[in-house]
């Protein structure tokens, strides 16, 4: 029997200044978000506690500095596992080579 997903999903984007929420959903829509992300090769990082906190922000909201450390763990995970993500970060000019 397949377990039902009742959690929350948050999509993050990083620009030059701060990470921001670009989408959020819960329940069935959260499950669809994860499904689509996996189909598109977008890294999925599971952290229910962080998702609960980030769900309070609206799409387009920047993540406050107090959450930078937690979100940096997610971004580091994405960086490690996704060469496309790594290339985007390199091309963004955020870091000196």
**97 falls within a domain:** no
**69 falls within a domain:** yes
**81 falls within a domain:** yes
**2 falls within a domain:** no
Q: Are 67 and 10 in contact (CB under 8 A)?
A: no
Query: Residue 57 belongs to a domain with what CATH number?
Result: 3.40.1690.10
**82 falls within a domain:** yes
- In sequence order, what DSSP letters do the residues of 63-90 get, joined into one string? PPGGGHHHHHHHHHHHHHH-HHHHHHHH
Q: Report the alpha-carbon distance of residue 4 to residue 1 in Å, rounded.
A: 9
Q: How many domains, the chain?
A: 1
pLDDT, tens digit, 9 for 90 and up, residues 18-75? 899 999 999 999 999 999 998 988 888 999 999 999 999 999 999 999 999 999 888 8
Nearby residues of 77 by Cβ (< 8 Å), 6 or more positions away: 43, 45
Q: Report the alpha-carbon distance of residue 96 to residue 45 in Å, rounded.
A: 27
pLDDT, tens digit, 9 for 90 and up, residues 4-21? 556 899 999 987 788 999
Structural domain of residue 69, as residue ranges?
8-92
The reported pLDDT for the residue numbered 79 is 76
Nearby residues of 48 by Cβ (< 8 Å), 6 or more positions away: 7, 8
**43 falls within a domain:** yes
The reported pLDDT for the residue numbered 74 is 87
**1 falls within a domain:** no
**3 falls within a domain:** no
């Amino acid at each position: 029997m397949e377990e039902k997903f009742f959690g929350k999903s948050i999509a993050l984007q990083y620009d030059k200044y701060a990470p921001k929420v670009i989408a959020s959903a819960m329940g069935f829509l959260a499950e669809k978000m994860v499904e689509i992300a996996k189909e598109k090769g977008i890294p999925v990082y599971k952290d229910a506690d962080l998702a609960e906190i980030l769900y309070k922000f609206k799409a387009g909201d920047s993540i406050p500095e107090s959450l930078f450390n937690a979100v940096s763990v997610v971004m580091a995970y994405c960086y490690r596992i996704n060469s496309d993500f790594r290339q985007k970060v390199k091309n963004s000019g955020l870091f000196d080579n």
